[in-house]
Amino acid sequence: AQSTLGILLMAYGTPRNLDEVEAYYTHIRHGRPPTEQQLADLMRRYHAIGGISPLNDITAAEARELEAALNRDGGRPCKVYLGMKHAHPFIADAVARMAADGITEAVTLVLAPHYSAMSVGQYQKNADEAATAARGLTLWHVDSWHLHPKFLRLIESRVQSALARFANPDDVLVVFSAHSLPARIIAAGDPYERQLHETGDAVAAALHLPRHRFAWQSAGRTADTWLGPDILEVLRELAAEGTKQVLLCPVGFVSDHLEVLYDVDIEAQALARELGVQLERTASLNADPAFIETLRDVVRAREVQAA
Ligand code: FEC
């Protein structure tokens, strides 16, 4: 029988309850505890979305469904191990479990479609370090899947159904967004910005959108210069030039979580109301069976490439 292929499915992670927020925030900040005010502000945002983020449940469902889909397709048997960047189970824990289970080959996949050395690259580095320590485990990384045809079709259909919520769909400006990163990544030749534009442009072309734009969101609260313009700035600019209908498609994220449910649905929405702009958002992919099928194809393609 064929040996089991491991799948290291990696996600951002979120606190399981409000008591875990401080440790989580400290981890995101590379071990530097947040100030009281920073912590209070983050707590306020979790409270505003109902106390905790749905991200853990969604990620767990994605992992479970991906394993089922892989084991239904007649290919090499697979076992999915979920590893988080900033919460339990951490990436290193997942790799250690994989090695303990006797897995010798694994495909790694981050639940973010676009590559940046500061995002996906960091997940991969954590996984590589753990695999080196475990010995005898080969990892095959998937760097990005931002132009996978099934991913594009899914985003297109999300955009299309959201456009139908406007009285005048032909006059809607579609704004694609993603998590901002410190601007220094661009000078370092990082593909993140280019890949994001490629996704948005491909979707816009397929749907013959008359106008679309790209904006950044959720910039960190640090002294760095972050990539801009921010979605809030773009909303103000669009309102000033008379645009009254905006569809935001946070294409850099796949699941519902704080950065979508707060930064878009609460913060950007409040500004849009103030500006008299109708703002709608595309539905997240979450554990949509068509998205799971996309992830399955991405994993199988990486397996073939490695063989
Ligand atoms: O629902 C949840 O609880 C988790 C939501 C969440 C996601 C997410 C995704 C990304 N982040 C990325 C980069 C950074 C950088 C910093 C940073 C800071 C935070 C903070 C929270 C947070 N992030 Fe996050 N991120 C999520 C949550 N992120 C909370 C801390 C408070 C704040 O700034 O709002 C800055 C770190 C520093 O201080 O040095 C950089 C990137 C992604 C998208 C790719 C991915 O999912 O990995 C990039 C979801």
The DSSP code sequence of 112-137 is -SS--TTTHHHHHHHHHHHHHHH-S-
Q: Considering only CA atoms, which residue is closest to atom 16 of ligand 1? A: 220
- What pLDDT sits at residue 32? 96
Task: Please tell me the distance between residue 205's alpha carbon and the centre of ligand 1 in angstroms.
Answer: 30
Q: Residue length, the chain?
A: 307
Centroid of ligand 1 to alpha carbon of 80 (angstroms): 24
Which of 6, 44, 75, 28 minimizes the C-alpha distance to 297? 75
Q: Is the peptide bond before 89 cis (omega within 30 degrees of 0)?
A: yes
Closest ligand 1 atom number to CA of residue 14: 3
Q: What is the pTM assigned to this prediction?
A: 0.96
Low-confidence ranges of the chain (pLDDT < 50): none
Q: Which helix (H) or strand (E) holds 175?
A: strand 173-179
Å from CA of 135 to ligand 1 middle: 31
Other Cβ atoms closer than 10 A to 290: 12
Residue whose Cα lies nearest atom 18 of ligand 1: it is 220
ipTM (interface predicted TM): 0.93
Question: Hey, whose CA ends up nearest to atom 4 of ligand 1?
Answer: 14
- Model pLDDT, residue 221: 82
Atom 39 (ligand 1): residue with closest C-alpha?
A: 29
For 34-92, what is each residue's pLDDT tens digit? 999 999 999 999 999 999 999 999 999 999 999 999 999 999 999 999 999 999 999 99
Which residue, judged by its Cα, is nearest atom 3 of ligand 1? Answer: 14
Residue nearest to atom 48 of ligand 1 (CA): 119
Determine the residue of 25, 28, 251, 265 to mutate for testing ligand 1's pocket, defined as the one with the most ligand atoms within 8 A of the Cβ atom. Answer: 28
- Of ligand 1's listed atoms, the one at least distance from the Cα of 181 is 40
pLDDT at 186: 85
Cα 287 to ligand 1 centre (Å): 21
pLDDT value at position 285?
98
Ligand 1 atom closest to Cα of residue 119: 48
DSSP 8-class letter at 163: H
Q: Rounded to whole angstroms, how far apart are CA atoms 197 and 103?
A: 37
Q: What is the pLDDT of residue 87?
A: 97
CA triplet 256, 288, 281: central angle to 5 degrees? Answer: 45
Atom 10, ligand 1: residue with shortest CA distance? 179
User: To test the ligand 1 pocket, which listed residue (86, 259, 261) has its Cβ within 8 A of the most ligand atoms?
Assistant: 259
How far does CA 72 lie from the centroid of its chain?
Answer: 26
CA within 13 Å, CB half, 35: 5
Q: What is the CA radius of gyration of the chain?
A: 20
In this structure, the strands spanning 78-84 and 212-217 are unpaired
With the most atoms of ligand 1 within 8 angstroms of its CB, the residue from 179, 196, 284 to mutate is: 179
Q: Which residues line ligand 1 (CB under 6 A)?
A: 12, 14, 25, 28-29, 42, 53, 55, 112, 119, 179, 181, 220-222, 257-259
